[in-house]
């Protein structure tokens, strides 16, 4: 099976979570962190879900009852996280009829998308997937790759974002075409020392000068 990798913007969009246990709690916390509106349907709710609902009254709604057909109306994403294979399958079937992507916890046949093992540090997001074959192995690989992430990744990404903006918008770089800008940015990300210099220059408000200096050297 071939999967299409994508990162979704779910801000302000409705996600429905069927189930109220610990797995459902993790889904809800991740969805709220991403800015989604969330509806949880379950006759029993994890105590932390109750507390989370009190803290996020505008974006999290708990419906303490059994799932019923129609609960997925208006949803952009669905998560089935119950301990009943029958319920999970029924939710999957409704999602299919409505054309909504669904993930069923630890139940690949009832999924139309899979959740990767991921790590987030500010704007940096790394995701690793085994296409549902082994979430545990995906997590192991993610932990190994995580060791390569610089501690100051937030500073580096902020500097790179600003460098792109400066090269595109600052009048001092009007003569650079798309290709030249790309080559300069590639040379920066390929060199750890340059990345650190850019991060430091960004913090000190000197990034534009550093970019000009780099271009001056490249022209000689």
pLDDT tens digits along 195-216: 999 999 999 999 999 999 988 8
Please determine, for residue 218, whether its predicted confidence score (pLDDT) is greater than 80. no
Taking only the tens place, the pLDDT of each residue in 90-120 is: 999 999 999 999 999 888 889 999 888 888 8
Taking only the tens place, the pLDDT of each residue in 152-174 is: 999 999 999 999 999 999 988 98
- How confident is residue 220, by pLDDT bands cut at 50, 70 and 90? very low
How far is residue 217's CA from residue 191's CA, in Å, rounded to a whole number? 16
Note the CATH number of domain 14-113: 3.40.50.720
What pTM, to 2 d.p., does this model score?
0.76
Domain boundaries, the chain: 14-113, 116-148, 153-213
């Amino acid at each position: 099976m071939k999967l299409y990798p994508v990162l979704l913007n779910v801000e302000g969009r409705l996600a429905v979570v069927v189930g109220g246990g610990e797995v459902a709690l993790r889904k809800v916390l991740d969805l709220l962190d991403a800015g989604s509106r969330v509806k949880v349907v379950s006759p029993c709710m994890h105590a932390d879900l109750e507390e989370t609902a009190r803290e996020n009254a505008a974006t999290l709604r708990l419906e303490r009852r059994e799932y019923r057909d129609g609960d997925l109306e208006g949803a952009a994403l669905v998560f089935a996280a119950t301990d009943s294979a029958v319920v999970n399958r029924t939710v999957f079937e409704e999602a299919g009829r409505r054309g909504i992507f669904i993930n069923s916890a630890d139940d690949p046949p009832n999924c139309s998308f899979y959740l990767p093992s991921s790590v987030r540090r500010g704007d940096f997001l790394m995701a690793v997937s085994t296409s549902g074959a082994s979430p545990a192995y995906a997590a192991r690989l993610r932990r190994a790759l995580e060791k390569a992430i610089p501690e100051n990744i937030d500073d580096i990404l902020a500097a790179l974002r600003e460098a792109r903006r400066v090269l595109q918008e600052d009048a001092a770089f009007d003569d650079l075409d798309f290709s030249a800008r790309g080559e300069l940015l590639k040379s920066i990300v390929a060199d750890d020392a340059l990345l650190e210099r850019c991060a430091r220059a960004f913090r000190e408000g000197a990034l534009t000068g550093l970019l000009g200096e780099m271009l001056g050297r490249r022209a000689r």
